[in-house]
Amino acid sequence: MNGIVVVTVEELVARIVDGAMVAVPPDYSFVAMAATRALIRRGARDLHLLAVPQSGIQADMLIGAGCVALVETAAISLGELGAAPQFTAAVKSGKISIRDSTCPAIHAGLQASEKGLPFMPLRGLIGSDLLRVRDDWKVSENPFKQGDQIVVLPAISPDFALFHAPFADRNGNIWVGRRRELVTMAHAARHTLVTVEEIRDINLMEDEGLAGGSIPALYVTALAEAPNGAWPLGLPGEYAPDDAHLAYYAKQAKSDDGFQDYLVEHGA
């Protein structure tokens, strides 16, 4: 496959070293849930989980399983099912550290990294409480307009971007459609690990209709086939979320015993 590395899901997550910063997409995007369960089985520890810009069941499972030391996010929740119970318990007990952020701030930090810049300016943060808890965000003056203040945010350079996608081609190019946050993640991260529903014997870059929604293999470190790899979340265009299962998880994860039973029951 022209040099692209194709591995098993277990081999893919084995590349994620303890203590690494791992960028993951939101529940409504392309989430690598099969890889998440494999990461829990591997016993990953001390991860810095970067939600781009928020997360749900994926983050909750990793936190409950003891894989995460620090979460950087705009929000962690199970949406209509309520608060993410393992995340909430971990915050209250001090089991994990939180680096509060916003959706635009996370995207801006990643965009700085993909452009090779040390920082990115962003409006809308001055006057918020976040500036009291984020001492790495600096208020600066617009060099082109005296008296105009703006916040500058440091570049965010994840060690790994981890996500799922509908398919890759025989050369390792990944189709992500309109999920542009995945493109930014892949550009900003040092390594990009992707699970896909299937590898197709086509060349995405030769198809005008598909090339614009694809991540070139240049940005992909390794990929693994994982049919139904976003379950119980959905994969737009492929399958819907398993709402009954997500509700079951939300119920089980409210207690430590229920959560551990869930992990055993579902291979994590």
Domain ranges of the chain: 5-108+158-265, 119-154
Per residue in 208-252, pLDDT (tens digit) is 999 999 999 999 999 999 999 999 999 998 999 999 999 999 999
Angle 243-252/256-265 helices, nearest 10 degrees? Answer: 140
Residues 105-136 have pLDDT tens digits of 999 999 999 999 999 999 999 999 999 999 99
**Directed axis angle between helix 85-93 and helix 57-64, to 10°?**
50
Strands (E), 155-247: 160-169, 174-175, 191-200, 214-215, 222-225
* Torsion, Cα of 109, 113, 119, 121 (10° steps): -50
Q: How far is CA 2 from CA 6, 169, 172, 218, 267, in A?
A: 11, 11, 8, 11, 33
pTM: 0.96
Token readout for 46 is 């001390």
* Per-residue pLDDT at 268: 78
Mean pLDDT within 68-82: 98
Whether residue 59 has pLDDT greater than 70 = yes
Residue 244 CB: number of other CB atoms within 10 A? 9
The predicted pLDDT at position 238 comes to 95
Residue 1 has pLDDT above 60, yes or no: no
pLDDT at position 3: 65
Phi, psi of 48 (to 5 degrees): -100, 105
Q: What is the CATH number that goes with domain 5-108+158-265?
A: 3.40.1080.10
